[in-house]
Structure 1
Amino acid sequence: MNLSFAVWTVIVLSLLTANLPFVVQRPFLVLPWTQAGEPQRPFWLQWVASLVFFGLLLGLAYAGFFMIGRAFFMASDLASVALFVGKLALVFGLTALLLAFPGWHNRSHDIHKSFLARLLEVLVFYGLVGTLGFAFEVNMGNAFSQTWEFYAVTLSLFLVLGYPGFVFRYLMRRPKRKSL
């Protein structure tokens, strides 16, 4: 795998996923509490659904790390490139389907996400993109152990990449609708 391909893939995905929670109103996570506009469900059912969702998300992240990190990739061999791109597409597709489930499940309701829900979505996306970055690093053969400073800096950079979405959602003035 080419180092510049891996770096630019992680940067572009970071830019997209850091802004996605602020731009899209549909939820990406099954949270253990009811959001505004969501139908009331029993307390225990919300928690079970949330735990199952996050368990599936963690399992998918681990499977993606294993599939991409342990994939044999040789840029000169067309079959190797096709297999690697296929594994990458499979991981992205399954992750997109899992993250689209909460929005699809509540498609008939007008849900208003709180800032806390958006922040949790940003943190989940940070973890997913970070897992992909580590998988790329393992695939290239030079995995390094990281300390807390690395995570503090990368989280700060991820939040800075999400600033345009934050401005779009919370700081832009929108014309008020005239009531009829």
Structure 2
Amino acid sequence: MNVSFSSWFVIALALLAANLPFLNERLFALVPLKGSDAAGGKPLWLRLIEVLVMYLLVGAVAYLLESRAGNTFAQGWEFYAITLFLFVVLAYPGFVWRYLRKRHG
């Protein structure tokens, strides 16, 4: 896998993973929750925890791809802060779809 493809793969994976908690009512899209059929479904705090875990998983995949391509680079806290907020920005479409969309009917 070349570097360009792996970069685009990580971006696509991040976009999917950031929106996944908002697009379903299951925990990590796998585990059904008790009482999630009730009005409101999965609580927001649980969705935010899922977003954080997805960020860590995408980061692990990105680190694995970087290490397979060559040397890995040491990163400071600034890198992780910027990528976390970028991940939150990628989650915005799912948040809008879940909470801000006007439901008709």
> How high is the TM-score relative to the length of structure 1?
0.54
Q: State the alpha-carbon separation in 2 of the partners of residues 6 and 175 from structure 1.
A: 41
Among 130, 137, 160, the alignment partner of 2:89 is: 160
Q: CA deviation at 1:27?
A: 1.8
- Report how many aligned residue pairs link the two structures: 101
State the alpha-carbon separation in 2 of the partners of residues 5 and 167 from structure 1.
29
Moved over 3 A (4+): none
Deviation string for 1:43-95 (max 9, x for gaps)? Answer: xxxxxxxxxxxxxxxxxxxxxxxxxxxxxxxxxxxxxxxxxxxxxxxxxxxxx
Alpha-carbon RMSD across the aligned residues, in angstroms, is 1.3
Cα deviation for residue 110 of structure 1 reads 4.0
Equivalent in the alignment of 1:18: 18
1:115 shift after superposition = 0.6
Unaligned runs of 5+ in 2: none
Cα deviation, residue 23, structure 1:
0.9
Of all paired residues, the percent bearing the same amino acid is 52
Residue identity opposite 1:169 in structure 2: R
Q: State the one-letter code of the partner of 2:45.
A: L
Which ranges in structure 1 are unaligned for 5 or more consecutive residues?
Answer: 29-98
Code of the residue aligned with 2:67 in structure 1: it is V
CA distance in 2, matches of 1:110, 1:14: 29
